[in-house]
């Protein structure tokens, strides 16, 4: 179990660092959006590239921060019953939910989206809009984001197993606070 916990800590560190880096993309997309609106409405000029980079960054924020959000217990769930149960029952629910739903979904999404990325990369796919951007970077975000989420799922699974075996504590991190 010590090796498993060490692996979980490595995964947690990777998702923590990526999540904190992705937070800066929120600022970038906000500034790009504001500048694009100012230029469009103030000067009557427009560029599809600026609109697409906003969409790409939004996709990056959503996909690359999913593992970080799971690590910090920030995903939406209904806690009507879950919050009333004992830590052992909650650990079992998390373990089963992760093993039966989250990990298979992540594996399926990585598998299904990888071909689209490779094809877009090989063809040099570009947006059909005038001045549009290349598409392979945004297509790479899908398998990468689900891989990071799946890895965090593995970390959470390891932590639940360690708790149930009496070899670790259950992470009781509250959902992220609004800033």
For 92-133, the pLDDT digits (tens) are: 999 999 999 999 999 999 999 999 999 999 999 988 887 779
User: At a CB cut-off of 8 Å and minimum separation 6, what does 125 contact?
Assistant: 119, 134, 135, 136, 139
Element at 16 (helix H, strand E)? helix 2-43
Distance from the Cα of residue 168 to its chain's centroid: 25
Q: Is the pLDDT score of 139 beyond 90?
A: yes
**Average model confidence (pLDDT) across the chain:** 90
At 78, is the pLDDT very low, low, confident or very high (cuts 50, 70, 90)?
Answer: low
Token pair recorded at residue 77: 């769930």
pTM across the whole model: 0.88
Higher pLDDT, 10 or 90: 10
Q: What radius of gyration do the chain's Cα atoms show?
A: 20
């Amino acid at each position: 179990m010590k090796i498993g916990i060490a692996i979980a800590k490595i995964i947690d560190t990777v998702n923590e660092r990526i999540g904190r880096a992705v937070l800066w993309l929120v600022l970038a997309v906000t500034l790009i959006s504001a500048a694009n609106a100012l230029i469009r409405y103030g000067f009557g000029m427009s560029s599809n590239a600026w609109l697409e980079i906003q969409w790409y960054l939004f996709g990056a924020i959503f996909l690359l921060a999913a593992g970080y959000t799971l690590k910090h217990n920030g995903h939406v769930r209904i806690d009507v019953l879950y919050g009333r149960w004992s830590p052992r029952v909650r650990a079992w629910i998390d373990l089963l939910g992760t093993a039966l739903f989250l990990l298979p979904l992540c594996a399926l999404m990585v598998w299904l989206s990888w071909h689209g990325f490779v094809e877009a990369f090989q063809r040099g796919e570009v947006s059909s809009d005038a001045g549009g951007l290349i598409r392979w970077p945004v297509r790479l975000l899908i398998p990468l984001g689900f891989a990071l989420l799946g890895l965090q799922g593995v970390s959470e699974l390891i932590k639940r197993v360690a708790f149930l075996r009496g070899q670790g504590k259950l992470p009781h991190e509250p959902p992220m606070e609004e800033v």
